[in-house]
Chain A
Amino acid sequence: MSMADPSIDALEATGPREKWSFGALLRTTEIDTRLLGMVAALAVIWIGFHFWSGGTFLTPRNLWNLSVQTAAVGIMATGMVLVIVSRNIDLSVGSMLAVIGMAMALLQAEILPKWLGFDHPMIWIIALLAGLLMGAVLGAFQGFIVAYVGVPSFIVTLGGLLVWRGVAWAMASGRTIAPMDTTFQLLGGGSRGNIGGLWSWLVGIVACVGIVLLLVTGRRQRRKYGFRLRPMWVVVSLGVIGCGVVLGSVGYLNRYMLPERVAAERGGGDIPFGLANPVLIVILVTLVMTFIATRVRFGRYVFAIGGNPEAADLAGIKTRFTIVKIFALMGILVAVGSAVQVARLNAAVSGLGQLTELYVIAAAVIGGTSFVGGIGTIPGAVLGALVMQSLQSGMVLVGVDAPLQDIAVGVVLVVAVAIDSFYRRRAT
């Protein structure tokens, strides 16, 4: 399946050579123009806020915080892409985040310690697995009602939004549950929940190896089937740029040093934070979800259902069961997001995740997911989450009033989708 551009079907570039232009360059390199546009928008936002805030936005410290703040929404937005691509919606993610967060918190703060004692090494694993299972079950339950009972997902998850919020409150009668297991807390980042400078470099190097491997195997595959090859200079520059961006980001973030008190625990001196655990989770989730969306049958079916449900049915796809799986997957990702959120707060309250569904949906939509169905990408949604969070953090940094922040985010959401649909119309 292809989200690639139209001009790459010829086996060989035939006919007169294309005149040089930016468009032609993009076609030769086969870069996703939508994604490139988002990166450009992000750059504008970052640089704009950097100057507006008098040089604080692009500091390692702020970018590090930004990366952690983006995590939970980014994780859940990857699932929302598949939900929206399949012509559904999930309005219940915020409330589900609360109910799962509450369950995980109760397990590790009140229930499990009775048997295992506080800070038993198994507690965080049991709590996390229970949360993931709960997410899958709640999601599948909603998906079942959508697919087999035939209630529109808007209604089912609107009901879920109310029900799960109520359940979250009832579970602890509105109490705040704290503190979390010390290992569990590491999922949320903070001064201990990160991997340090050295490991961050290693992650960066692994990413670079991955980029090179992808480019090499892609080229080998194309040669095997006799498809047109991208010019060597394109492949090499893509590799260099990709690795440069990865290593540059790691290097820059590594300049954010641990506070002295924490550094002293690890032997003192200048110790970099390195990548935060939630950021590692986002990266992992993005990779896995991209793989699911583009490389396996389930993902293909999700897109086919979004494009033409009837055709998917006639092709022999079990469309209903696929819908259940989509919602179950969404539930699992909500559980992951919930774990990050609860760990970061080191507490669970029944008001957790309020309005989160809207941010998650907005991130997916800013990232190019279309409500028509059948269109959307995982990396786009994560970038969308980053754009949203950048706006919010930036406005906090320069001291914009809270109501004005909401207005700005709302306007950006609508404008982003307007621009997107304008270009989409022009493209077809």
Chain B
Amino acid sequence: MTVTADKADRAPLVEMRDIRVAFGGVHAVDGVSVDLYPGEVVAVVGGNGAGKTTLIKTLSGAHPADSGTILINGVKATIDSPRDAKAYAIETIYQTLALAENIDAPSNMFLGRELRTKVGTLNDRAMEDAARRVMGRLNPNFENFRVPVNSLSGGQRQSVAIARAVHFNAKIMIMDEPTAALGPAETAQVTQLIQQLKAEGIGIFLISHDIHDVYDLADRISVLLQGKLVGTVNKEDVTIDEVLAMIIMGKLPSETTQRELDDLHR
């Protein structure tokens, strides 16, 4: 099963072709190709060490690929650093959230891209003002703009990381295990937010080791196993069990038997 035909007439937002990354002799990512369309959520799933995070780091600029091509809007892109990625409107929300714990939410949102006054000093009030605006959209209950983020709850910190991506008009968003550390209410909030971003035409890569976390949100699912792409499927065409079979056995739904699917639950 491959990508459906109705996508053919639109240009993909991101196309990653034959990406390879090796650490020493280990091929963490071995010739993987995935793509992402505007307003689409593609879940990248796989067990521990499947290469999801490494793959996505090549797109976020945290760890450049050894070989392979990345096309953004059909044009070849060079992404060697987080800065490069941001220039392509790629924003990443890391599992660890990548927040500096000791500084406040606006400073974190604007870290590396601070607003400045005419004389070049930090314009903290303008940054706080902008943060309040974005947060008003994402999480209206958020009020702690002047405390270090280490005193915020997991969900609030998540909102800060997402607000950073939203404020800088991300076209492509990468979320690494966005709900892994959250409670049910906060998860619902993030889910709702993802729907909202999707409606705004943002393409989202959702990274997860647990298909249950992302199945409801995903439009397509790319499964990795041991650094290789097992396949990419439309969510509507598969059951969770079939995806599990891909994750665990590396077999496409067409190759699995009912017997094997039943065995998954044993």
Which residues of A are interface residues toward B (Cβ below 8 A)?
1-2, 4, 6, 8-10, 221-222, 224-225, 227, 291, 294-297, 300, 303-308, 310-317, 373-375, 428
B-side contacts of A300, CB under 8 Å: 103, 107, 111, 114, 122
In-complex Cβ contact of A317 among B94, B112, B144, B148 (8 A): B112
B103 and A312 within 8 A (CB): no
Which residues of B are interface residues toward A (Cβ below 8 A)?
60, 62, 81-83, 86, 92, 94, 96-104, 107-108, 111-114, 116, 120-122, 124-126, 128-129, 143-148, 150-151
A-side contacts of B116, CB under 8 Å: 297
| A6 with B145, Cβ < 8 A, contacts A1-B103, A374-B102 known | no
B122 and A296 within 8 A (CB): yes
- Interface of chain B: mostly helix, strand, loop or mixed: loop
A-side contacts of B83, CB under 8 Å: 316
B-side contacts of A9, CB under 8 Å: 143-147
B104 and A6 within 8 A (CB): no
List, sorted by A's number, 11 A–B pairs whose CB atoms are closer than 8 Å: A222-B125, A225-B128, A297-B114, A300-B114, A305-B100, A307-B100, A307-B148, A311-B96, A315-B112, A317-B111, A428-B151
Give the residue among B86, B108, B112, B116 with the most A Cβ atoms within 10 A.
B112
A-side contacts of B120, CB under 8 Å: 296
A2 and B98 within 8 A (CB): no
A339 to B98 Cα, complex, angstroms: 42
B104 and A2 within 8 A (CB): yes
B-side contacts of A316, CB under 8 Å: 81-83, 86, 112-113
A304 and B103 within 8 A (CB): yes
Across the interface, name the chain B residue whose C-beta is closest to A14.
B143
B147 and A295 within 8 A (CB): no
A-side contacts of B129, CB under 8 Å: 225
In-complex Cβ contact of A6 among B96, B111, B147 (8 A): B147
| A307 with B102, Cβ < 8 A, contacts A225-B126, A315-B112 known | yes
B-side contacts of A291, CB under 8 Å: 121
A294 to B124 Cα, complex, angstroms: 10
A310 and B147 within 8 A (CB): no
A317 to B83 Cα, complex, angstroms: 8
B103 and A2 within 8 A (CB): yes
B-side contacts of A373, CB under 8 Å: 102
Across the interface, name the chain B residue whose C-beta is closest to A226.
B129
In-complex Cβ contact of A1 among B86, B124, B151 (8 A): B124
A341 to B148 Cα, complex, angstroms: 38
A-side contacts of B103, CB under 8 Å: 1-2, 300, 303-304, 307, 374
B100 and A303 within 8 A (CB): yes
A313 to B94 Cα, complex, angstroms: 13
| A311 with B100, Cβ < 8 A, contacts A10-B143, A428-B151 known | yes
| Across the A-B interface, the 7 shortest Cβ-Cβ residue pairs | A307-B100, A374-B102, A307-B102, A315-B112, A311-B98, A316-B83, A316-B112
| A307 with B101, Cβ < 8 A, contacts A6-B151, A315-B111 known | yes
B100 and A312 within 8 A (CB): yes
| A297 with B82, Cβ < 8 A, contacts A307-B101, A312-B111 known | no
A-side contacts of B150, CB under 8 Å: 428
B82 and A313 within 8 A (CB): yes
Question: Min CB distance, B252 to chain A, in Å?
Answer: 35
Across the interface, name the chain A residue whose C-beta is closest to B130.
A225
A-side contacts of B125, CB under 8 Å: 221-222, 224-225, 227
In-complex Cβ contact of B107 among A1, A310, A317 (8 A): A1
Give the residue among B62, B98, B116, B129 with the most A Cβ atoms within 10 A.
B98
Question: Min CB distance, B95 to chain A, in Å?
Answer: 12
A308 and B98 within 8 A (CB): yes
B111 and A295 within 8 A (CB): no
